[in-house]
Copies of this chain bind each other. A is one copy, B any other.
Amino acid sequence: MKRLTAWLPELPILTWGKRYNKDLLTGDAIAAVIVTIMLIPQSLAYAMLAGLPPQAGIYASILPLVAYALFGSSNVLAVGPVAVASLMTASAIGQFAAAGSPDYWQAAIVLAFLSGGILLLLGLLRLGFFANFLSHPVISGFISASGLIIAASQVKHILGVKAEGENFFSLLASLATQAGHSHAATLAIGIGAIAFLFWTRKGLKPLLITWGVPARTADIIAKIGPVAAIAVTSLLVWSLGLDKAGVKVVGAVPQGLPPLTVPQWNPELWQALLVPAALISVVGFVESVSVGQTLAAKRRERIEPDQELVALGASNVAAAMTGGFPVTGGFARSVVNFDAGAQTPAAGVFTAVGLTLASLLLTPALYYLPQATLAATIIVAVLSLVDFSILKRTWAYSRLDFASVIGTLGATLLFGVEAGLLIGVSMSLAFFLYRTSKPHVAVVGWVPGTEHFRNIERHRVVTSPSVLGLRVDENLYFANARFLEDCINNAIATRPELKHVVLLCSAVNSIDASALESLENIEHQLRTAGISLHLSEVKGPVMDRLKGTAFLQHLSGKVYLTHFQAIGELAPELIKSEAEQKCATSGNACVRG
């Protein structure tokens, strides 16, 4: 009980709940109405993408929103099915059951439950840093590839054909083969819907503004364009009887509240879905947090990443309990929520109420909705995910980061979402280790007349044959520990007169146990070769750690506060002769230390 009360005060709802009033209520309610209208087509579409019946999409947008409102730290984040997580869901459970079968839906529920459990665990243990494994290049490559895969997966609904492929390229090939057998009416609806949706995005808003509609309202109207597409194409199908002519429609969607579901206990399935669930969780969390942070900063608010893990975890558990599938914070819906003026997470609760009403009353109206319209909605939505500008930017900035983008993109298109993501993460880690494994190490010399030491290759400096000064421009840790050993071994092999090595540590922020071992090896190797090792300009926190270690106790040399002191003591002749020279040229009397 003590722990519960200790934890409760952190619940964001207790903060915003206290100050809730009529003004906030009005803002939240208006936003909820707009988001509800937008979410109906989106939920149906993403359920189709995930291979689930359309109502699953609506179910996944009700209780999860309430759960997020209870635990979330963002005032505007809207939780529900999103494109990438839906694709990952289809990819994960497609191996175990046929899309559309009850087993398939059961597996989706298990996946949501596992994903929720993982997020809750990470949040309660405050392990949000795990999301850091995903670098921006990896995420960019992965999201673009996912957008392409999703768009390609929907083209068959536009063409009215059957097409399948092991990966993106074989799917394209299959589509190319099938294109000749396209169903004319379906194609007409699909292409028409795509064209209309692109126009609502690009052309409608300027038009509304010229009509005198305020910019913000125009933006919101443009964003709910898919609803018009759904209404018009549904009416077309109904009035012309196109469903009997072969245009595939959504069909009967059960009316009513979301069902109460329990994830089925099946150890093999759970084990097999564990890795996919972890990947969906991390990708969803990263997406959600970046949306939340961007929007929060606009109002000088802030979100709490570890709290977001808990909230997303609760949302996914809620999805698993009500016939849904993995959910996360979506970009488009959160932006609409923000623009429509949502003030607190209560807007999410009102949206949930709206969607419950839709689920109770509106589903019969969806009977004649063509699948091609939903496919068009998805295609237009996901093409904005595909962004190749990152390629140009990373190429200019860093070739290793460029390689991470290309590698993740290619691996995802070739091997699918899970393998692609894992390959991308492995690559970025390998590249990072590679980048830091060979740090910049400069041999430094004295800049005469100053207390400064600079790279001998870039500056005019003087050095002593018996003292070697090395500056390492990187933290010392396991990835570069052996490199430093190599460096110093090379240096001593070519300098027969060497008596002292001084490591200038001004750019070393940390030294881990591996690097400490390497320093001990270096010290030992130098000692057997008759050379002493010294350190200079060691940072405070690094020195705190080194104190009391065997390395420092047995160090053959000393630790100097400044490199100038080190050289003054180890190679006094260098400074002295220079000082004499300086005296000779300046003509002043000299004091010798």
Binding site for B on A (CB under 8 A): 129-137, 289-290, 293-294, 296-298, 300-303, 305, 393-394, 396-398, 401, 404, 428-430, 432-440, 473-475, 477-483, 485-486, 489-490, 492-493, 496, 507, 509-510, 512-514, 516-518, 521, 524-526, 528-529, 541, 545, 548-550
Contact = CB atoms under 8 A, between A and B. Distances in A.
Contacts of A428: 478
B298 A493 contact: no
Contact of A433 (B133, B297, B496): B133
A135 B489 contact: no
10 tightest Cβ-Cβ pairs between the two chains A and B: A297-B525, A135-B478, A401-B513, A136-B514, A129-B437, A302-B493, A136-B517, A132-B479, A135-B514, A298-B528
B510 A435 contact: yes
A473 B289 CA distance: 24
Contact of A401 (B132, B393, B512): B512
B545 A493 contact: no
B513 A137 contact: yes
Given A302-B490, A302-B493, A489-B297, A136 B478 contact: yes
B475 A475 contact: yes
A489 B397 contact: no
A365 to B, nearest CB: 40
* Interface majority SS (helix, strand, loop, mixed), chain A: helix
A528 B485 CA distance: 48
B486 A136 contact: no
Q: How many copies does the complex hold?
A: 2
Given A293-B489, A302-B489, A528-B298, A545 B398 contact: yes
A476 to B, nearest CB: 12
A295 to B, nearest CB: 10
Contacts of A440: 509, 541
A513 B136 contact: yes
B481 A136 contact: yes
A139 to B, nearest CB: 9
Given A137-B513, A294-B525, 5 more contacts: A135-B514, A136-B513, A397-B549, A398-B512, A432-B477
A513 B526 CA distance: 38
A300 B485 contact: no
The CB with the most chain B CB atoms within 10 A, among A289, A436, A486, A517, is that of A517
A428 B477 CA distance: 11
Contacts of A490: 302
A105 B486 CA distance: 37
Nearest to A139: B514
A130 B438 CA distance: 12
Contacts of A294: 521, 524-525
A535 to B, nearest CB: 16
A526 to B, nearest CB: 8
A300 B492 contact: yes
28 contacts: A129-B438, A132-B482, A132-B483, A133-B433, A134-B478, A135-B513, A136-B478, A136-B481, A137-B514, A293-B485, A294-B521, A294-B524, A294-B525, A297-B529, A300-B492, A302-B490, A302-B493, A305-B482, A305-B486, A393-B549, A393-B550, A397-B549, A401-B514, A404-B513, A428-B478, A432-B478, A435-B512, A473-B509
B493 A398 contact: no
A482 B132 CA distance: 8
A550 B134 CA distance: 23
A145 B435 CA distance: 31
Contacts of A549: 393, 396-397
A294 B520 CA distance: 11
